[in-house]
Structure 1
Amino acid sequence: MHYWSVEWTRYMQQVNEYMQYQTQQIQQLNGKLEALEKQIAELKKNSTQPPVINNEYRFDLLKVERLEGTLNIGLNPNPGDKDSSIEELAIGQSMDIPKGAEQQAQFQGIQEQVQNYLNSDAYRTLEHIEERYRYPLDEPYRKFIVEDVKKQIDERIRYYIQNHPETAENKEQSIINDVKRDIEKTFEAFIKNLPRKDEGPGWNST
């Protein structure tokens, strides 16, 4: 019981620190935007034809660091491995954005279906896994897990579009099924490795 309490307290402290960090990042970004707006207002005030401002937007300002210990969705280098979860991305591997109108339309169609799944049936799937491993979660924690998956799922879809062996006729539904399967296996792997009262991290029901 004491071990479980310590692990849970530590995890909640990490979540709290993560939220504080994100709040600070947002405040810093707001400050930069306000300063930029003031500069533009001054230029408009002092010149009838203000010079062109080279405003190179820095996307790293919006970079969100994941809390260590939460889901880290990745890509399995071997799509034929049906037993893999989507936590197996090799560090540094990147996916190209689908090119062409056909691939882009396919990506958007798959993305919509997967997002619909994550907004509804994924919660029921997660609850079934909780029952299987006798590890009930509360609703905010389920949402925390699902939202973390949502942020990372597009890369998985792009990977399958580029590497899936199915013909165009069957490809879209097949990719949707594969992504759902990967999400479920990621849920399962995450819950299996949560610390338990007696067994500690890495507990397995089998």
Structure 2
Amino acid sequence: MVDIQAYIQQLYQYIQHQEKRISRFEKAMKELKTEVQALKEKPPISVERLEYKFDQLKIERLDGTLNIGLNPSDLSEKIEDMEIPPPNTQGPSIVADPNFKQEIINRLNHYVGNEIHTVINDTEQQLGMNLEQHYHDFIVNDLHKQIPQRVDHYLNILAGQNLGTLSKEDLLDQVYQKMKADIDQAIFLFISKLPNNMNGGNTNGT
């Protein structure tokens, strides 16, 4: 004879077990729906837009403007560091000479055109970066465009300085060395501030 009481007890336990399973499934479905909804509401990932400004060798990013060119606001301080002998009336006439200006421009253009790639490569090695070739071309072309304007700015400052007995060649060499140092610094700052996804990969392979 079937034990009705035992059968009912087993049936009750089975139903309880199934209810627990259904409850777990419902909870899992609810969590899954919550995650899906959160993904739908999450703003899409946007690639940072970079905009080049060739006049000052800078990059404008969504988080602000990063100046990486030769900064005119720093030039007066750099000029003051030059070794200037006692006053003389010779200085302003040298600075105003168009040939003097052109000679500085020619020297700097030669430096940028012939030596700057070595500076870029050394900077990449120092920072553990490896830029693609178009970044090299961008830097070189942009520096060439900047040189006349920056030379003008230097000479305008020098025109108000007491240049003393400094010879034309000595003055030319000092201006050239100062601007060359500014260019090297501009390249270092430019490369060091590039986002990781804008270079060709670290030289150490990471």
For normalisation by structure 1, the TM-score amounts to: 0.51
* More off after superposition, 163-172 vs 140-149: 163-172
State which structure, 1 or 2, has the greater radius of gyration over its C-alpha atoms: 2
Q: 1:80/1:112 Cα in 2 relative to 1: closer, same or farther (>3 Å)?
A: closer
Amino acid paired to 2:138: F
- Name 2:71's counterpart in structure 1: 74
Change (3 A) 1:100 1:144: same
Q: What are the residue-to-residue correspondences of 1:120-131 with 2, within 5 Å?
A: 120-131=114-125
Instruction: String of CA shifts for 1:2-34, please: whole Å, max 9, x gaps.
Output: xxx945xx34xx46xx9xxxxxxxxxxxxxxxx
- Structure 2 match to 1:29: none
More helix per residue: 2
Deviation at 1:133, TM superposition (A): 0.2
Which contiguous aligned blocks of 4+ residues in structure 1 show a shift greater than 6 angstroms?
98-101
> How many pairs are equivalent?
129
What's the secondary structure of 1:137's corresponding residue?
coil
In structure 2, the residue matched to 1:188 is: 188
Matches within 5 A, 1:85-104: 103-104=97-98
Task: Tell me how far 1:141 sits from its aligned partner.
Answer: 1.2
SS for the counterpart of 2:97 is helix
User: Offset of 1:188 from its aligned partner?
Assistant: 0.6
Indicate conservation of the 8 Å contact 1:110/1:157, yes or no: yes
Higher strand share: 2
Which residue type is aligned with residue 73 of structure 1?
A: L
Deviation of the 1:163 alpha carbon? 3.2
Query: Gaps (5+ residues) in structure 2?
Result: 1-45, 62-66, 82-91, 198-206
Check if 1:147 corresponds to 2:144. no
**Structure 1: any 5+ residue segments left out of the alignment?**
19-62, 83-97, 198-206
* Structure-2 residue corresponding to 1:171: 171
Q: Report SS of the residue matched to 2:78.
A: coil
8 Å Cα contact 2:70-2:182 kept in structure 1:
no
Alignment of 1:35-74 (within 5 A): 68=60, 71-74=68-71
Aligned residues: CA RMSD: 3.6
What is the TM-score normalised by the length of structure 2?
0.51
Matched-pair identity in %: 22
1:157 aligns with 2:151: yes
Task: Give the equivalent residue in structure 1 for 2:24.
Answer: none
